[in-house]
Amino acid sequence: MIANRLLTFVAAATVAAFLAGCGKEPAPVAASPTCAELDKVTDLAQRAELLKKCPRSGPEFKASPKKEY
């Protein structure tokens, strides 16, 4: 008898947990600019953040000399 009540309680809790997550749409995620879009960023603070993440981008970029192996 105790096992039957426990099984019923577990089943009801499982159904409630599944139903609690239904109907909620995920919040839209704002797309953060990538290193390739550095030229298009106009916000100076956001541009500074991107320059920290993408150190090879920007006017100070110097390509390495080509090596032949």
Which portions of the chain are predicted below pLDDT 50?
A: none
Domain boundaries, the chain: 32-56
For every residue of the chain, DSSP letters joined together read -HHHHHHHHHHHHHHHHHHHTTTPPPPPPPPPP-GGGGGG---HHHHHHHHHH-TT-STT--PPPP---
The distance of Cα 11 from the centroid of its chain, to the nearest Å, equals 34
pLDDT for 63: 75
pLDDT for 34: 76
